[in-house]
Homo-oligomer: A and B are copies of this chain.
Amino acid sequence: MTTQSSSRGLLTEDQESEIRESRAAENRTRRCTVPGLEEILYEPMPILDHGFIRVIDYMGDDAAIVQSARVSYGKGTKHTRGDAGLIDYLMRHRHTTPFEMCEIKFHVKLPIFVARQWIRHRTANVNEYSARYSVLDKEFYIPAPEHLAAQSESNRQGRGDVLHGEDAARVLDLLRDDAARCYEHYEIMLNERQDSGIIDDNRAGLARELARMNLPLNTYTQWYWKCDLHNLLHFVSLRADPHAQYEIRAYADAILETLKRWVPVTTKAFTNHVMEGVHLSGAALGVVRRLVAGEALEQGDSDLSKREWDELMAALGRNI
A residues whose Cβ falls under 8 Å from a Cβ of B: 11, 14-15, 18-19, 21-23, 25-33, 38, 41-42, 56-60, 64, 67-69, 71-76, 85, 88, 92-94, 97-98, 100-101, 103, 105, 107, 111-113, 115-116, 119-120, 122-123, 125-130, 132-135, 141, 143, 147-152, 156-161, 163, 167, 170-171, 174-175, 178-179, 181-182, 185, 188-190, 203-210, 212-219, 222-224, 226, 228, 238, 243, 245, 271-273, 275-285, 288-289, 291-292, 294, 305, 308, 315-318
> How many copies of this chain?
4
Give the distance to chain B from A158, nearest Cβ to Cβ, in Å.
Answer: 7
Q: Cα distance A124–B225 when bound, in Å? A: 17
Give the distance to chain B from A39, nearest Cβ to Cβ, in Å.
Answer: 9
Evaluate contact between B282 and A292: CB separation under 8 angstroms.
no
Q: Cα distance A107–B157 when bound, in Å? A: 23
Evaluate contact between B68 and A42: CB separation under 8 angstroms.
no
Contact of A152 among B189, B207, B212, B224 (CB under 8 A): B207
Evaluate contact between B277 and A280: CB separation under 8 angstroms.
yes
| Closest residue on chain B to residue A162 by CB atoms | B204
Evaluate contact between B30 and A128: CB separation under 8 angstroms.
no
Q: Cα distance A69–B224 when bound, in Å? A: 9
Evaluate contact between B208 and A151: CB separation under 8 angstroms.
yes
Evaluate contact between B189 and A171: CB separation under 8 angstroms.
yes
| Closest residue on chain B to residue A100 by CB atoms | B125
Chain B residues positioned under 8 Å from A291 (CB to CB): 292
Q: Cα distance A151–B85 when bound, in Å? A: 24
Give the distance to chain B from A228, nearest Cβ to Cβ, in Å.
Answer: 6
